[in-house]
Amino acid sequence: MAYDFFINLGYLVGAIAFVWGLRLLSSPDTARRGNILAGIGMGLAILSALFTREIAAPSNNYAWILGGMVVGGVVGGFAAKKVKMTDMPQMVSIFNGLGGACAVLLASVELFLMYKGTTAPASNGQLGIILGTVLIGGITFTGSMLAYTKLHGSIWDNTFVLPKHNLINNILLVGLLAFAVYLFILGSAAGTTLGILFLALALIYGASFVIPIGGADMPVVISLLNSFSGLSAAAAGLIYGNNMMLVGGILVGASGTILTVLMCEAMNRSLLNVLIGGFGGGGASAKGADGEQIAKEVSLSDAAIQLFYSQSVVVIPGYGLAVAQAQKIVKEVDDLLSANGVEVRYGIHPVAGRMPGHMNVLLAEADVPYDKLLDLDDANNALKSADFAIIVGANDVVNPAALDDPGSPIYGMPVLEVWNAKHVIVLKRSMNPGYAGIQNPLFFHDKNRMLFGDAKDTMTKLASELKGM
């Protein structure tokens, strides 16, 4: 009894550390402490699990477990040290996928042991949980891996898209659910072949679910798959009666679901629309950009003078800021302007970048005060009275086609209405379209001026111009 008490106590303390750590993650000021605290909770959970009777009984278990922990620890530590901030969305996708892979592997082993008669037939409730874990875990694994390849640029949005792909996905999903019910009814009589077929279809659906999703919607996909990874972990916890897996999985699943709903609202989409895969396909705008339109440029010196003598500036960061690693030089320009009495704030779109909170993380790394970061509604209010809007590497989140072009793939998505500022400056490498693959009429707007070049290099030169004033 005392033995079990201390194991359960370890789980309880670990669960409290998870919840408390998650709470601290809600603010950039305490996020680091929250991450460390959650890590301590995970360490306690692992130690407690290692001393459970099921693991401690066979003496050779520890060799396999410690070997896996060493390999995983080395790989994880190396990745954490070497991964670039621009590659963080890809890393999150891999983590989601590996979480799903663990769950589907555990559930598949239990399912096939039952079919082979090695273990006693599962109860109806247990079999339902196992089949659900295989389904959710399989979708999470292949969906996240495909999301990684799209974020990494290995494949493009329309590489494997089939005609009426969303309809195919919906039929496949209904078929999978019906198949799961059939296996549930058959019980242990279903056999290994049907079990393998069910697993294969779940893996296929996971990849097919992500294939038609456009680049502009990838942050929502990452959030949704993160939720799935938590649900699959919770389901695996139910299979093994492990309270820590259950608590951790529920926390991840619930927080991921809440974030997905909030991001869907920010993009003017319903959660059902996301779940059936009917959103965010890439494509060109029906209206398109007039081929004879010319984007006007501004020189560095003119831009520096106008910004230096302005009263209010709103900076709009995007993925290009992350690629150029320009967040710290943007903060330097912010400091130079603020020293001259210019009010500098940042407009943050919920899906800017390629994962939820991408821009917040970048700016926090550069020590930008959190109270300078404005959400979508506050930023749009601030833009109405701003002298300048500076777009640093953003594209789709400042595209007016979302409001006035019904033929655009992003039509209906709330965007940062930068054209309401008195003047607009867009920092961009070229006139190429953004991640959603569509042209941006903002580039040709009367108020806009283009400042071409690498964001970090351009902002460095702009800072030099400001220092000379």
Return the closest-CA partner of residue 191 out of 183, 200, 199: 183
Spatial strand order of the sheet with 373-374 comes to 373-374, 343-347, 312-317, 388-392, 423-428, 448-452
Query: Could you write out the DSSP letters of every residue in 98-162?
Result: HHHHHHHHHHHHHHHHHHTTSSPPPPHHHHHHHHHHHHHHHHHHHHHHHHHHHHHTSS-TTSSPP
Q: 389: which strand partners?
A: 314, 424
Reference 458, options 295, 345, 303; nearest CA is 303
Contact indicator for 360, 376 with CB cutoff of 8 Å = no
State the DSSP code for 85: G
Residue 107: half-sphere exposure toward Cβ, Cα within 13 Å: 32
Task: Give phi and psi for 468, each to the nearest 5.
Answer: -85, 0
Euclidean distance between CA atoms 135 and 138, whole angstroms: 5
Three-class SS state of 427: strand
| Catalytic residue flag (residue 396) | yes
How many Å is the maximal CA-CA distance in the chain? 81
Query: What is the C-alpha separation between 228 and 236, in angstroms, rounded?
Result: 12
Catalytic residue among 87, 396, 446, 454: 396
Separation in Å, CA 165 to CA 51, 171, 291 = 48, 10, 32
Q: Catalytic amino acids?
A: 396
